[in-house]
């Protein structure tokens, strides 16, 4: 490989280094998004770690039981069509208040709602390969109140 190629490869590798950068500790959002221009949105929507945590909670809180991939079209979250709007604040409101029977507002903490919203809004960008990989990655974790043993 030419030195130029190596440099490009190195740059590509390092470009991903800040993908998961985040502050740790108790500095999470305590309030819901104020609108689609809320300055906190980027820290969740553009952050690979926050999106992946969103996926975990999505399964743990049982969301994937109804919104399974390849499920009925009206519950399909992967097609990029949003019945109640696709902005961050709109999707957040759909998750938190759109399921009154589940009482998510009280059952899911605010930061977890931010993460789940970021994940749900990330879904339409997933390729088939990524969907399969994520499915395999999370096979050993709980879905709502069911857990089927380690992978």
Interface ranges with other proteins (CB under 8 A): 24-26, 28, 30, 53, 56-57, 59-62, 103, 106-112, 137-138, 140-142, 144-147, 149-151
Of 92, 127, 97, nearest in space to 113 by CA: 92
In this structure, are residues 115 and 53 in contact, taking their beta carbons and an 8 Å threshold? yes
* Residue with Cβ nearer other proteins (29 or 86): 29
For the chain, the C-alpha Rg in angstroms (whole number) is 17
Shortest separation between residue 49's beta carbon and other proteins, angstroms = 9
Shortest separation between residue 132's beta carbon and other proteins, angstroms = 15
Shortest separation between residue 112's beta carbon and other proteins, angstroms = 5
Nearest-angstrom CA–CA distance, 150 and 137: 11
Shortest separation between residue 143's beta carbon and other proteins, angstroms = 8
* Residue with Cβ nearer other proteins (125 or 151): 151
* Residue with Cβ nearer other proteins (36 or 111): 111
Q: Which residues of 112-147 are buried (b: 16+ CB within 10 A; e: fewer)?
A: bbbbbbbbbbbbeeeeeeeeeeeeeebeeeebeeee
* Residue with Cβ nearer other proteins (89 or 142): 142
In this structure, are residues 79 and 1 in contact, taking their beta carbons and an 8 Å threshold? no
């Amino acid at each position: 490989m030419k030195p130029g190629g190596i440099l490009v490869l190195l740059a590509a590798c390092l470009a991903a280094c800040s993908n998961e950068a985040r502050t740790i500790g108790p500095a999470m959002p305590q309030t819901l998004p104020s609108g689609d221009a809320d300055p906190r949105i980027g820290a969740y929507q553009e952050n690979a770690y926050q999106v992946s945590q969103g996926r975990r909670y999505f399964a743990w809180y049982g969301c994937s039981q109804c919104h399974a991939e390849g499920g009925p079209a009206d519950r399909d979250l992967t097609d990029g069509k949003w019945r109640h709007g696709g902005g961050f604040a709109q999707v957040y409101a759909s998750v938190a208040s759109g399921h009154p029977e589940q009482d998510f507002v009280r059952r899911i903490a605010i930061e977890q709602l931010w993460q789940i919203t970021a994940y749900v809004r990330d879904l339409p960008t997933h390729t088939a390969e990524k969907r399969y990989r994520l499915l395999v990655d999370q096979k050993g974790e709980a879905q709502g109140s069911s857990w089927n043993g380690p992978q």
